């Protein structure tokens, strides 16, 4: 069953008459994603510091935002999570995921560096992948300047961001680093062919619809032949061995549920340590909405605890 809070949210959306994301222009969808933060997200918690940075990228600087957890000394060398926001590779930015990054920093004791990668339709696949890889390499190389420990570096993200984190981990394995100690994959998109049953079971009525997926993927991927490129669909990579330990979180009423579960299963079968947790009463996108969904706060606490356990405390 759906969580009653989720049912109330979906009923509210249905009665509001508001257009769905795929019925908006890209500009409108981006503005909507920013505007709804105040309705569904918790108040942004205080952290020790927030700093906007930039990493060199393939086509210019990549904006970043660095968070240090509340109470961390300015000189402390911290573990770090490189975080990629969700939004279908089309919407979302540093602001839409600001609260989540603050929560993860405070609860885990890690620094968090969020990446504002290029998105479609202005910059199509593999632009987001190229930026994610470049940003992760830069963060790893800047340990002293950023006061982070590159030997305790994790990658993570939600939805499209989980996809990018998985792809960055495979690329790092195959291209001599950087060393990645942990993956935090929150309802990751891992198979753009969308052939698993949850895309049919949960394709209508649960916020992320099949039409919305068509909208996102259509604005991200120019040629459907690229759906099977492992950089778009990491589940389709032939070799998922020798990857960092992972926590994969999914939602029971999410079209992406089965591909997240399949990715965790394949990583485990390939000899990696991969934990899998499904919040069976939730929908796609729930983790950022702790103002209206109690289980969102549980998921954030779980993710942060696993980060802390995998990366260790700050020096």
Active-site residues, by number, are 159, 254, 284
CA pair distance 122, 111, nearest whole angstrom: 30
**Which pair of structure tokens corresponds to residue 200?**
């049919």
Residues 6+ away with beta carbon under 8 Å from 39: 291, 292
Handedness of CA 64, 70, 73, 79 (dihedral sign): negative
C-alpha separations of 119 from 3, 85, 122 in Å: 32, 11, 6
CA pair distance 122, 110, nearest whole angstrom: 33
Handedness of CA 8, 247, 160, 66 (dihedral sign): positive
**Which pair of structure tokens corresponds to residue 166?**
């998985």
Beta bridge partners of 183: 155, 246
CA pair distance 249, 93, nearest whole angstrom: 21
Beta strands in the chain (DSSP E): 49-57, 60-68, 78-84, 111-115, 148-158, 182-186, 246-251, 274-279
Handedness of CA 137, 52, 162, 182 (dihedral sign): positive
The pairing of beta strand 78-84 with beta strand 60-68: unpaired
CA pair distance 78, 86, nearest whole angstrom: 25
Under DSSP, the state recorded for 93 is -
């Amino acid at each position: 069953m759906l969580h009653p809070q989720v049912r109330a949210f979906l009923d509210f959306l249905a009665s509001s008459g508001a257009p769905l994301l795929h019925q908006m222009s890209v500009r409108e969808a981006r503005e909507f994603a920013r505007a709804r933060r105040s309705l569904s997200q918790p108040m942004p918690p205080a952290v020790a510091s927030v700093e906007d940075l930039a990493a060199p990228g393939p086509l210019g600087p990549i904006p970043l935002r660095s968070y240090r957890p509340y109470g961390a000394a300015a000189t402390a060398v911290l573990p770090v999570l490189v975080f990629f926001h969700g939004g279908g590779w089309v919407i979302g930015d540093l602001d839409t995921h600001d609260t989540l990054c603050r929560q993860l920093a405070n609860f885990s004791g890690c620094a968090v560096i969020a990446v504002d990668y290029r998105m479609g339709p202005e910059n199509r696949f593999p632009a987001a992948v190229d930026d994610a890889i470049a940003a992760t390499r830069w963060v790893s190389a800047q340990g002293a300047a950023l006061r982070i420990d590159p030997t305790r570096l994790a990658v993570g993200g939600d939805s499209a961001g989980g996809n990018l984190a998985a792809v960055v981990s495979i690329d790092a394995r195959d291209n001599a680093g950087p060393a990645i100690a942990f993956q935090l994959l929150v309802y990751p998109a891992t198979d753009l062919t969308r052939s698993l049953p949850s895309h049919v079971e949960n394709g209508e009525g649960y916020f992320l619809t099949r039409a919305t997926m068509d909208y996102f993927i259509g604005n991200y991927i120019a040629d459907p032949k690229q759906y099977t490129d492992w950089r778009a669909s990491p589940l389709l990579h032939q070799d998922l061995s020798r990857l960092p330990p992972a926590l994969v979180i999914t939602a029971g009423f999410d079209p992406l549920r089965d591909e997240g579960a399949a990715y965790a299963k394949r990583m485990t079968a390939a000899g990696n340590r991969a934990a899998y947790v499904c919040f069976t009463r939730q929908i796609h996108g729930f983790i950022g909405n702790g103002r209206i969904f109690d289980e969102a706060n549980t998921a954030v606490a779980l993710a942060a605890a696993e980060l802390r356990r995998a990366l260790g405390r700050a020096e």
